[in-house]
Amino acid sequence: MNPPGLTVGEPRWHATLLIVVIMALYATMPPRFVFGKAWVMPLVVLVFLIPLIATMPLHRREPRLQRVLAIALIATMTLFNVASVVTLVLFVLGKSAAHKISSGEELLMAAVPLWVTNVLIFALWFWETDAGGPIRRGQKESAETFSHADFVFPQMSIPNHPAYMERNWKPLLLDYVFLAFNNATAFSPADTFPLTRRAKVMVMSEALTSLVTLAVIAARAINILT
């Protein structure tokens, strides 16, 4: 039995749900804006996801191979999303784009899934890398005892607050989705700040992808609509 406040790590089923949503969003995009064939990305993701699902319930400690598969899965989705953004930007900025675009709605049908996917993917990046990942975070009594934390949450700044002490607060996936959403909309963290260089690189990468999607693609779509 684990000591009070300690767990074997945050359950991964909700992360799996986010991955399914990402694959569904990819499938809803107009085919000509998808990088490669529409079925390639889901197929590659499933190659990584199925072994992860099969081994998740069997381990109290995360094997190195399992962590490598998790990172490879998120990296794969990131590459496909960035490649799709680049494909769409090149299409929009092309000289003959105006003659090829049938409607502004078509561009929005590509831009919105790409933007949402960007948020979810970086939420998974933050969740998987912060303080060594969900398994290591789960083995700590509270966020105050995290070693090598990549982000500092507001609750970590007020460790003597009664609510914090009672709950043995630790960030969950929803906290990282909130962080990724704020970063994608405001292009900066709202209340949670990156501490390490890798966290800063991830935050900048998400903000840049979001900026390109909103400023170049969505703006052109709205211009067509008007």
Residue 171 has pLDDT above 50, yes or no: yes
Residue 213 lies in a domain: yes
Residue 3 lies in a domain: no
Residue 143 lies in a domain: yes
pLDDT digits (tens, 9 = 90+) for 124-133: 999 999 988 8
Mean pLDDT within 160-181 = 79
* Residues 202 and 125 sit within 8 Å (Cβ to Cβ): yes
Write the DSSP string, 19-57: HHHHHHHHHHS-GGGSSS-TTHHHHHHHHHHHHHHHHGG
Mean pLDDT within 172-190 = 91
Q: How many domains does the chain have?
A: 1
Residue 116 lies in a domain: yes
Q: Which pLDDT value is given to residue 188?
A: 81
Instruction: Kindly state the percentage of the chain with pLDDT values over 70.
Output: 79
pLDDT digits (tens, 9 = 90+) for 47-71: 989 888 877 654 456 677 788 889 9
pLDDT digits (tens, 9 = 90+) for 146-167: 778 889 888 777 766 665 555 6
Mean pLDDT within 166-176 = 83
Residue 34 lies in a domain: yes
Q: Which pLDDT value is given to residue 226?
A: 60
Residue 45 lies in a domain: yes
* Residues 81 and 124 sit within 8 Å (Cβ to Cβ): no
pLDDT digits (tens, 9 = 90+) for 81-109: 999 999 888 887 775 555 455 566 778 88
- Residue 46 lies in domain: 13-225
Report which listed range, 44-48, 132-136, 190-194, is most confident. Answer: 44-48
